[in-house]
Amino acid sequence: MSNSVLSTEHLDKTKLAELDKYIAGLENKQEAIIHILHRGQEIFGYLPKELQLYIARKADLPAAKVNGIVSFYSFFSQEPSGQYQISICLGTACFVKGADAIIKEFRSQLDMADKRVSDDGRFSIRDVRCVGACGLAPVVVINEKIYGHVGTDDVAGIIEQYRGAEG
Amino acid sequence: MRIDSLQSLAELRESAQQYVHLRRDDVKEHPADAKIKHQLMVCGGTGCVASRSDEIIEAIHKALEEHQVDDVEVIKTGCFGFCGQGPIIKVQPDDLFYVRVQPEDVSELIESHVKRGEALERLLYVDPRNQKVVHNHHEMDFYEKQERAALRKCGLIDPMNIKESIAFDGFHALGKVLTDMTPQDVIDIIKTSGLRGRGGGGFPTGLKWEFTRKSVGDKKYVICNADEGDPGAFMDRSILEGDSFSVVEAMAICGYAVGSDHGIVYIRAEYPPAIQRLTAAMDQAREYGFLGENIFNSGFNFDIEIRLGAGAFVCGEETALISSVEGGRGEPTRKPPFPAESGYNGKPTVVNNVETLANIPDIILNGGEWFASMGTEKSKGTKVFALAGKVNNIGLVEVPMGTTLREIIFDIGGGIPGGKKFKAVQTGGPSGGVITDRDLDTPIDYESLKSIGSMMGSGGMIVMDEDNDMVEIAKFYLEFTTDESCGKCTPCRIGTKRVKELLEQLINLEGDEETLEKLDTLCNNIRSTALCALGQTAPNPVLSTMKYFPEEYMRYARREVKKTYSIDPEKCIGCTRCARVCPVSCIAGEVKKPHVIDEELCISCGACFDACKFDAVLRP
Ligand SMILES: Cc1cc2nc3c(=O)[nH]c(=O)nc-3n(C[C@H](O)[C@H](O)[C@H](O)COP(=O)(O)O)c2cc1C
Ligand code: FES
């Protein structure tokens, strides 16, 4: 990534202070880079390029290396997600029970055929690989809440719970 | 409280046993004046928590207060294994299993079982084979053929309380090893046991430890592989959620055997409850002196740290895992050198899987011969499988090696739901292959599964029924491996993409018989040229489905496959059921007249097929 156009100026100062505190407590910052990125994503919600640059400087690593790590691991996200993050499990147990029809159904109901985040920023859709509740397949997770045994005809009802909700 | 001798450990065990006597198989008589008459064991595994087991625990506390009961304890355990029936409450000492319990049921359950002493029939498990209500958990078909070794303490103890582990012999193996065995004695017992790696490779664990012991290095490491990347497998997670203590103890034993004072657990960040329980187990082990300096006053030091993964399947491969622990992209390196010679930071390193380690303490306590008495000639002991997919009893199953797939799927798993026909079972995850009806009677071990075109893998077992399209399944796995390829070598990075494209061509009815030939050649090339096992095994799902279901591939190649559902006008009576369930409203027709599906709009979800009572809907 090119540093010339990136600036770490606009990153939230209180959040950065929290991250700084975490980094300061680490012995080997380079080896702990994955842990730093985890913490960064926890605090900021995602890892924008500016933040990656900031972390790279703090850990004394080339920014390209940090970006290489962020893009390598699927747990890290470089873009913000919607207010309600809909994660549809596409692990094998869920797949053989029809999870692909569920994801299509969410996309069509929310009119998000190929969008990751809805226009109003309320919903984002992504697929994940096994959330560990295979006994409840097919599984959908919205933010922290897990829905099990989801059928295509449950989708509208699930979405409704969030559409109406405020904040 | 520091434990520094076997004597003080034995004393602690005795006092801790008071808390668990209701749960012990070997204690039949319980003192009449005991303060606690029942213990309610509530599953706190990820699956059951997802179906509200935390709310159930809250509801129990409330109900106990309401009914003024003070001789009942509630214990949040790890997974009982019977995940498809969750949330589960096991009542001790009655050995009674309540299934699919909802928070709303709890008050009635307490009132009936605890206050009146009558089992609440409607929440007991009903045997699907004969519709009989099962009272005793040992009589359930799901458990009859199981043998719990690695999972022995899962569901039996509170995973956040080290005393409960100690009451069931936890840390006794470590005490024994440090006070009266040499490192070579330990290695010899493990060799005698015949234990082989449960992470998939099946390498003999005793030998691995011996190599690492003999490797020269001023520092050595013990790494526990808790990356569990096979999607749809949850053995390692359940062990860590239910009994992290055994893994902590085993790592210390391994450290003593190979000469290491530094352990690392590499665990998926996607497993927060497992991380939480592992952290608690490590903290408590430190407090009791089982980790730290001069353990059991033997002069042996050992401690463990946790490293988080970040969602990359390839990091389950040991050399990639080590790169990731060192703070980089998880890219594998060529072997040799093996980690036993040159691993983390270039030092000799043992990498062992969670389940492999969970077997160690009992092997030390019961002897290598005990473990070797279970299983087949070349694969000893038991294996845990995560049984999922189109099977009645979804859950965690531990059986002696040599059990047949038929026993697992039909006796333990209760067969296929909805009266559908069994089609295939995939073992070994994205690296494995499908096994069909004709091989279901193969006794499972590392070699036999290979000989029928699949592999043991780490224990994922996905059952498929007649509705599953095998070409789609192959594409699903290839999508996974293309996503997860680390990109370091070309055969895997580009090759798997091409395989996926060829499969897509077939599925979109744009391929022909030549496509099949290309697929076959390409798959075999990748197999022999990829850098690591991820790439080498990536073509397996394609090759094995091609081998066992050639007619399904041929139908795509000849473009004989219909892409969407359709309605047989002869059979349709116009009941409108299909039109009402269709999620995309692509079925039209008047009442009492044959309906039609708009093929353009159909998403092939199958809702109409399931809804139709007249067999009028035809599958693609
Ligand atoms: C692509 C790939 C993925 C793997 N994933 C895992 C895994 O998730 N967990 C695991 O324990 N071993 C996994 N392994 C096997 C490890 O490389 C290694 O053999 C194992 O951790 C050694 O421990 P064991 O001898 O106790 O099985 C994987 C191997 C490959 C090639
Ligand atoms: S495969 Fe979906 S939860 Fe495991």
Q: What pLDDT score does B311 carry?
A: 86
Nearest to B326 among A31, A128, A131 (CB): A31
Predicted local confidence at residue B31, as pLDDT: 76
Is the confidence at residue A2, as pLDDT, over 70? no
Name the closest ligand to CA B212: 1
Q: Closest by alpha carbon to B358, among B258, B464, B226, B490? A: B226
- CB-CB neighbours of B34 under 10 Å: 11
**What pLDDT shows up at residue B560?**
84
Per the CB < 8 A criterion, the answer to whether B355 and B196 are in contact is no
Confidence at residue B490, expressed as pLDDT on a 0 to 100 scale: 93
Nearest-by-CA chain B residue for A127: B480
For residues B449, B452, B457, B460, the Cα torsion angle rounded to the nearest 10 degrees is -100
Q: For residues B455 and B478, state if they share a domain.
A: no
B429 — contact with chain A (CB < 8 Å)? Answer: yes
Last residue of a domain, one of B450, B465, B480: B465
**CATH 1.10.10, domain A13-72, yes or no:** yes
From the number of C-beta atoms within 10 Å of its C-beta (0-12, 13-18, 19+), residue B420 rates as middle
**Protein residue with its CA nearest to atom 23 in ligand 1:** B352
The beta-carbon neighbor of A93 closest among B50, B232, B311 is B232
Cβ of A98 within 8 Å of Cβ of B327? The answer is: no
Are residue B273 and residue B313 in the same domain, yes or no? yes
CA atoms within 13 A on the CB side of A56: 24
Please state, in angstroms and rounded to a whole number, the distance separating the CA atoms of residues B178 and A20. Answer: 42
What span, in angstroms and rounded, lies between the C-alpha atoms of B57 and B43? 10
Mean pLDDT value across residues B574-583: 89
Q: Give CA–CA dist B254/B251, Å, rounded.
A: 5
Phi, then psi, of A18 in degrees rounded to 5: -65, -40
B279 and B413 both lie in a single domain = no
Q: Helical H runs in B6-92?
A: 6-20, 46-50, 53-66
Rounded distance, CA A152 to CA B10, Å? 56
Q: How far apart are CA B208 and CA A151, in angstroms?
A: 47
Contact B159, B242 (CB under 8 A): yes
pLDDT for residue B583: 83
pLDDT at B606: 81
Indicate if B284 and B236 belong to the same structural domain: yes
Cis status, amide bond into B159, omega within 30 of 0: no
**Domain of B579: which CATH number?**
3.30.70.20
Tokens representing B542 are 């394609």
> Which run of H or of E encompasses B389?
strand B382-389
Residue B445: C-alpha distances to residues B98, B201, B202, B405, B451 (Å): 34, 12, 10, 11, 10
Q: Peptide bond preceding B443: is omega within 30 degrees of 0, i.e. cis?
A: no
- In the DSSP assignment, the letter for residue B23 is G
What backbone phi and psi angles, to 5 degrees, belong to A145? Answer: -85, 135
| Structural tokens at position B364 | 């030390």
pLDDT for position B43: 92
Closest CA to A71 of B329, B154, B475: B329
Residues B439 and B530 in one domain: no
In the prediction, which pLDDT does A167 show?
A: 45
Does A94 sit in the ligand 2 pocket, CB within 6 Å? yes
Summarize pLDDT for B508-544 with one digit per residue, the tens.
889 999 999 999 999 999 999 998 889 999 999 999 9
CB-CB neighbors (< 8 A) of A159 in chain B: none
Q: Tell me, yes or no, whether B79 and B130 share the same domain.
A: yes
Question: Tens digit of pLDDT for each residue in B19-51?
Answer: 898 998 888 777 777 889 999 999 998 888 888
8 Å CB contact of A92 and B84: no
Residue with tokens 């990751």: A116
**Among candidate residues B158, B150, B152, B162, the one with its CA nearest the CA of residue B290:** B162
What does the pLDDT read at residue B468? Answer: 93
pTM for this prediction: 0.91
Q: What is the pLDDT of residues B440-452, one digit of tens each?
A: 999 999 999 999 9
**DSSP H or E run through A150:** none
Q: What integer best gives the mean pLDDT of chain A? A: 90
- Structural domain span for residue B130: 36-139
Half-sphere exposure of B60 (CA within 13 A, CB side): 27
The verdict on residue B90 lying in a domain is yes
pLDDT given at position A165: 64
- Pick the last residue of a domain from B443, B465, B487: B465
Residues B347 and B231 in one domain: yes
State which ligand 2 atom lies nearest to the alpha carbon of A95.
1
Q: What is the CATH number for B409? A: 3.10.20.600
Do both B485 and B605 map to the same domain? no
What is the average pLDDT across B288-316? 96
Q: Which of A37, A96, A104 sits opposite B389 (nearest CB)?
A: A96
Q: What is the mean pLDDT of residues B302-331?
A: 94
- B13 found inside a domain: no
What average pLDDT does this structure show over B579-587? 87
State the closest ligand 1 atom to the C-alpha of B354, by its place in the atom list counted from 1.
11
Residue B206 has pLDDT above 60, yes or no: yes
Cα B327 to Cα B313, B321, B397: the distances in Å are 16, 10, 35
A19/A119 Cα distance (integer angstroms): 30
Q: Give the CA distances from residue B398 to residues A41, B216, B381, B425, in Å, rounded to whole numbers and listed in that order.
A: 37, 37, 10, 17
Q: In the predicted model, what is the mean pLDDT of residues B281-297?
A: 98
- Choice from A96, A102, A131, A149 to test ligand 2 binding pocket (greatest atom count within 8 A of CB): A131
Structure tokens of B339? 């980690």
Report chain B's mean pLDDT, rounded to a whole number: 93
B272 pLDDT higher than 50? yes
Across the interface, do B324 and A34 touch by the CB < 8 Å criterion? yes
Q: Cis omega (within 30 of 0) on the bond before B337?
A: yes
> Which of B465, B489, B522 corresponds to the end of one domain?
B465
At A80-112, the pLDDT tens digits run 989 999 999 999 999 999 999 999 999 999 988
Residue range B322-334: average pLDDT? Answer: 92
Indicate whether B208 belongs to any domain: yes
Please spell the DSSP secondary structure of B66-82, one letter per residue: HTT--SEEEEEES--S-
- Which chain B residue is nearest to residue A71, measuring alpha carbons? B329
3-state helix, strand, coil in chain A (%, to 5): 45, 10, 45
CB neighbour list of residue A23: distance below 8 Å, 6 or more residues apart? A29, A36, A55, A58, A59
Closest by CA to B445, choosing from B435, B454, B436, B456, is B456
Q: Which residue of B has its CA nearest to A153?
A: B583
Residue at token pair 């749960």: B23
pLDDT per residue over A46-82, tens digit each?
Answer: 999 999 999 999 999 999 999 999 999 989 999 998 9
Residues B301/B295, Cβ–Cβ less than 8 Å: yes
Residues B390 and B420 in one domain: yes
Q: Which fold has domain A84-163?
A: Glutaredoxin (3.40.30)
Q: Is the pLDDT of residue B551 over 90?
A: yes
Q: What is the distance between the alpha carbons of residues A85 and A88, in angstroms, rounded to a whole number?
A: 10
- Give B-chain residues touching A27 at CB under 8 angstroms: none
What percent of chain B is modeled with pLDDT above 70? 100
Which ligand approaches the C-alpha of residue B196 most closely? 1
pLDDT at residue B327 in the model: 92
Classify residue B221: in a domain, yes or no: yes
pLDDT band at A124 (very low <50, low <70, confident <90, very high): very high
Average pLDDT on B84-109 reads: 92
Average pLDDT over residues B492-499: 95
Residue A63 Cβ contacting ligand 2 at under 6 Å: no
Smallest-distance ligand from the CA of B355: 1
* CA atoms within 13 A of residue A42's CA, in its CB half-sphere: 11
Answer yes or no: do B320 and B431 share one domain.
Answer: no
> Residue B208 in contact with residue B352, Cβ under 8 Å?
yes
Assigned domain for B207 exists = yes
Concatenating the DSSP letter of every residue in B251-283 gives: HHHHHHHHT--EEEEEE-TT-HHHHHHHHHHHH
| DSSP E strand stretches across B127-256 | 133-134, 221-226
* Total domains, chain B: 5
User: Binning pLDDT at 50, 70 and 90, where does residue B607 land?
Assistant: confident
Average pLDDT of the residues in A124-144: 89
**Using 50, 70 and 90 to split pLDDT, how confident is the model at B128?**
confident
- Which residues sit with their C-beta closer than 6 Å to ligand 1? B 197-201, 203, 225, 227-229, 314, 316-318, 351-353, 356, 458, 532-534
Q: What is the CATH number of the domain that holds B280?
A: 3.40.50.11540
Mean pLDDT for B75-100 is 91
Structure tokens that stand for B231 in this block = 């999607």
Domain boundaries, chain A: 13-72, 84-163
Same domain, B326 and B236: yes
DSSP line for B197-215: -TTTT--BHHHHHHHHHHS
Chain B hits for A30, Cβ within 8 Å? 327
Q: Are B455 and B428 in contact (CB under 8 A)?
A: yes
Identify the residue among A37, A47, A109, A134 best suited for mutation to test binding to B, counting B beta carbons within 10 A and taking the highest.
A134
Peptide bond into B87 cis (omega under 30): yes
Q: How far apart (Å, rounded) are the C-alpha atoms in residues B191 and B200?
A: 18
pLDDT at B611 over 80: yes
Give the model's confidence band at B118: pLDDT under 50 very low, under 70 low, under 90 confident, else very high.
very high
Q: Which of B237, B307, B329, B344 is the mutation pick for testing A, counting most A CBs within 10 A?
A: B329
- CB-based contact, B586 to chain A, within 8 Å: no
Whether residues B127 and B237 share a domain: the answer is no
Rounded to the nearest angstrom, the minimum Cα separation between A63 and chain B is 13
The span from the CA of B382 to the CA of B375, in Å, is 7
Indicate if the pLDDT at residue B220 is higher than 80: yes
pLDDT value, residue B146? 92
Can you read off the two tokens belonging to residue A145? 């809440």
Q: Which of B196, B236, B271, B351 to mutate to test the pocket of ligand 1 (most atoms within 8 A of CB)?
A: B351
CB burial of residue B613 (10 Å; 0-12, 13-18, 19+): exposed
B440 closest CA partner among B389, B403, B391, B401: B403
How far does the centroid of ligand 2 lie from the alpha carbon of residue B619, in Å? Answer: 26
> Is residue B173 pLDDT above 70, yes or no?
yes
Ligand 1 centroid – CA B400 distance (Å)? 21
Q: Output the DSSP codes for A83-124.
A: SEEEEEE-SHHHHTTTHHHHHHHHHHHTT-SS-SB-TTSSEE
**Cβ(B242)–Cβ(B274) below 8 Å:** no
pLDDT at B152: 95
B256 in Cβ contact with B315 (< 8 Å):
no
Q: How many helices (H) and strands (E) does chain A have?
A: 7, 4
Nearest to B394 among A30, A130, A134 (CB): A134
Query: Pairing mode, if any, of strands B89-92 and B96-98?
Result: antiparallel
